[in-house]
Amino acid sequence: MIEVRELYKSFEDKDAIKNISCLFEEGIINMVIGSSGSGKTVLLKCIVGLLRPDKGKIYYDHQDFTAMGYFEMKRLRQKIGMLFQGSALFNSQTVFENISFPLVMHTSMSKAEIRKRVEYCLERVNLDKKVADLYPQELSGGMQKRVGIARAIANNPKYIFYDEPNSGLDPKTSRVIDALIKEISHEMKTTTIVNSHDMTSVFDIADHVYFIYEGQLWWNGKPSEIMHSANAELIQMINAAGKHE
Amino acid sequence: MLREAFGRPDNHRILMKRTFREMNIIGIESLGIVFMVSLFMGMVLTLEIAYQLVSAWVPDTAIGEIVSDTTMLELSPTITCLVLAGRVGSNIAAELGNMKISEQIDAMNIMGVNAASYLIMPKIVASIIVIPMLIIVSNALSITGGLFIGHITGFCSSFDFIQGAQSTFETFTLVFSLIKAFTFALIISTISSYQGFIVTGGAIEVGRASTRAVVQSSVLILFFDYLLAQLLL
């Protein structure tokens, strides 16, 4: 479970996020939605510690993340997996080296155990073992995302973050990635936060939705409640995406 | 950034492995350019000294004396490191800059890996080990180039050249050459890593960081060249 309390972050004079409070439960898919520039990525970067918030608190299972020291934060981060918008795979390393990276760095697993775990992760994201020897630039966008997910789950994380998992993918591949996120989150019982502006994903896989508009949390609730909400901006966003049902 | 880079490594075995990899990239892959630059430097130096000094009043060993001393004291460490600032420095800045803009460094940090230590420390350690080695090779090649061209042009015999080089050789000259190489290696690796690590934006900014790394390293090399000569000679 991750709790965000009264979070503020600004860049120079511009407020990126203002007074955001939310509770991301474990075992479900928490989806943060909003149009481009609404502040979703800033919120996610604050939650994972890539940005330091100006004000407010973040709790990982009641541990104050914002008050953690360097080594404490490092230990916690070993329980975090993240899929970046552009996958962020290490392009000088093979797929095998990418997926095994957190295992090599943080565990004392033998080479055989690491290979087994990498093969399991590849299988879990529906990729062939042969892909392991390829470099990220030899893969399609959808395959890169899957390798990114495989790397994110390699170390059995407790918290998984997905930043725009469907960006740059065709609708069919997007649904495959969505299905994968749903399966993995429910199977691993992780605290999952997905940043997206893809409304199809919202209705397909989200269990709880947080709508951010101009840096503020405007609405939160279940996807089924969205159409009944009185929030004009949210309805406008859904209409613009062409999803009415 | 340096404090983080020299913080406790996450995995010593990986650090060693990465350092050897960097030694290969910085050292072995630079051998070709060091070979060319050094050989021609020694050859040109011999011709220019011969042009100015060959006369009945100057001993035949003078060319060997001047070429070997000038090579070790100044030309090999400075010129070679200026060339390496271009080759190695731009490579380091571009590699780290690209990793930064494609969020690879963020990905490492999120996995609880100290990215500065994982990426930068091996580059700095490898540089300060292999660049002095390259300078020793450069010294030898430059003097050999001078010896060779002196012999084939007839300005000075190989015997006179070697005798001249040996007569003025002092161990401190070589030590001074290595002190310079060590200092310049530190400048090239730290400046370039820093410039790469702070990139924000896109491909244009990576290019700019790469240029800044080369320019700043070159200027600092020249400044420390003067400072070390002033302090140690």
Q: How many CB pairs under 8 A join A and B?
A: 57
Instruction: Please list every residue in chain A whose beta carbon sits closer than 8 Å to the beta carbon of residue B104.
Output: 88-91
Nearest to A80 among B10, B104, B110 (CB): B110
Q: Identify the residue among B104, B111, B114 best suited for mutation to test binding to A, counting A beta carbons within 10 A and taking the highest.
A: B111
Instruction: Please list every residue in chain B whose beta carbon sits closer than 8 Å to the beta carbon of residue A153.
Output: none
Q: Where are the domains of chain B?
A: 2-232
Residues of A at the B interface (Cβ-Cβ below 8 Å)? 48-50, 74-78, 80, 82, 84-86, 88-92, 101-102, 104-106, 155
Task: Provide, rounded to the nearest whole percent, the portion of chain B with pLDDT above 70.
Answer: 100
Give the gap in angstroms from C-alpha A243 to the nearest C-alpha of chain B: 32
What pLDDT is attached to residue B182? 97
What pLDDT is attached to residue A8? 94
What pLDDT is attached to residue A242? 53
Looking at chain B from residue 101 to 130, which residues have their Cβ under 8 Å from any Cβ of chain A?
A: 102-104, 106-107, 109-114
ipTM of the modeled complex: 0.87
The mean predicted confidence, pLDDT, of chain B is: 93
Indicate yes or no: CB of A104 within 8 angstroms of CB of B11.
Answer: yes
What pLDDT is attached to residue A234? 73
What pLDDT is attached to residue A182? 92
Do the Cβ atoms of B142 and B42 come closer than 8 Å? yes
pLDDT in tens, chain A (245 residues): 999 999 999 998 889 999 999 999 999 999 999 888 889 999 999 999 999 999 999 999 999 999 998 888 888 998 999 999 889 999 999 999 999 999 998 888 999 999 999 999 999 998 999 999 999 999 999 999 999 999 999 999 999 999 999 888 888 888 989 999 999 998 889 999 999 988 888 889 999 999 998 899 988 899 888 877 767 777 777 666 555 44
Which three-class secondary structure string do you get for chain A? CEEEEEEEEEECCEEEEEEEEEEECCCCEEEEECCCCCCHHHHHHHHHCCCCCCEEEEEECCEEHHHCCHHHHHHHHCCEEEEECCECCCCCCCHHHHHHHHHHHHCCCCHHHHHHHHHHHHHHCCCCHHHHHCCHHHCCHHHHHHHHHHHHHCCCCCEEEEECCCCCCCHHHHHHHHHHHHHHHHHHCCEEEEEECCHHHHHHHCCEEEEEECCEEEEEECHHHHHHCCCHHHHHHHHHHCCCC
Instruction: Please list every residue in chain B whose beta carbon sits closer than 8 Å to the beta carbon of residue A89.
Output: 104
